[in-house]
A = this chain, B = another copy of it.
Amino acid sequence: MQNLYPEITAQIYNELKDDLHHGKPADYIPELANINQHQLGIAIATADGKIYSAGQANVPFSIQSISKVFALTLAFQRMEKALWLRVRKEPSGNAFNSLVQLEYEKGIPRNPFINAGAIVITDVLCSRFVQPEFSVLQLVRKLAQNSEIDYNMKVAKSELLHAHRNLSIAHLIKSFGNLENDPSQVVKTYCTHCAIQMSCIDMAKAGLYLANHGCIPATKEYIIDDDSTKRLNAIMLTCGAYDAAGDLAYRIGWPLKTGVGGGILAIVPNMLSVCVWSPGLDELGNSYSGIRALEKLRLYTNLSVF
């Protein structure tokens, strides 16, 4: 199978490259809105250290909500069970930034991948690291084995200027007693780790531990244990795509996490990690062409968890 990956990635890129006008980039900050939508990157990383890529797989993009996977991994390393007293792990069944559920459920977010949950996770990091946003950055540098990965501070600052909804969420959580740190500080940290920039190749490599029992293949370092890795994949499958999680589980069937920058990190357990990126978003905030690329990849490889 594996030696077909070069052909498959090339084929998918060729099938989609002239059809990238669907959806539109996130428009709430200028840095994301002004991107050239007609880009598509695909990168597959396998446990033996190989990378198979096509299209704009070397172009850095804003990882946005995909950073929630790495923030959760850091929190997981420090407090697995206690974490679930502060955030649940249920699909949200609502738009990704809704305050309604958060109010009814007394400040306990539905899962770590909606904004409210990621804010609580970031609060956990703020209480445990001197520079929590830098700890997230260090983790992805180590995972991707690329020390040049960095934040885009222009994106981070621009997001902070438009962070009133996240500030609303953070203050509401604080009012229920579920935030240890200052809401402004937590939201600032959150916006910063969302502003990390990585290429598809970086991201596919960074996600490989999730397809490999928690272990970075190149260094044999365990980031989290096998059992925690399975659980993290479960959360990605049930909660990784906002209100499209069920639909993508149905259409693709892999644990994945999307971001409004247009990136998607997907995992085939025990097999491979894949990152696709294309900036045009569908109406649910997920990359339109990225999802199509993953559907094709699933079809051509016939890999599924089900």
A residues near B, CB below 8 A? Answer: 88-94, 98-101, 103-104, 110-111, 164-165, 167-172, 174-175, 183, 229-231, 233-235, 237-239, 243-247, 249-251, 253, 255, 269, 304-306
Residues of B within 8 A of A306 (CB): 229-231, 233-234, 237, 255, 269, 305
A231 to B174, CA, bound (A): 37
| A interface: dominant SS | helix
Chain B residues whose C-beta falls within 8 Å of the C-beta of A172 in the assembled complex = 99, 164-165, 168
Q: How far is the CA of A170 from the CA of B183 in the complex (A)?
A: 14
Please report the C-alpha to C-alpha distance between residue A142 and residue B238 in the assembled complex, in whole angstroms. Answer: 32
Q: Give the residue of B89, B167, B247 whose beta carbon is less than 8 angstroms from that of A246.
A: B89
Q: A146 to B170, alpha carbons, bound, how many Å?
A: 41
- Measured between alpha carbons, how far is A192 from B238 in the docked complex, in Å? 31
B101–A99 CB distance below 8 A: no
Contact B93 A92 (CB under 8 A): yes
- Subset of 25 A-B contacts with CB under 8 Å: A88-B246, A88-B247, A89-B250, A90-B244, A90-B245, A91-B91, A91-B92, A92-B93, A93-B94, A93-B101, A100-B103, A164-B172, A164-B174, A165-B172, A168-B169, A168-B172, A230-B306, A231-B250, A235-B250, A237-B238, A238-B245, A238-B249, A269-B304, A269-B305, A269-B306
Bound complex: CA A104 to CA B237 (Å): 25
Alpha-carbon separation in the docked complex, A244 to B167 (Å) = 29
Instruction: Please give the distance in Å from A163's CB to the nearest CB on chain B.
Output: 8
CB closest chain-B residue, reference A267: B306
Determine which of B168, B230, B269 lies in contact with A171 in the assembled complex, contact meaning CB atoms within 8 Å: B168
Residues of chain B with a CB closer than 8 A to A243's CB: 90
A99/B91 in contact, CB under 8 A: no
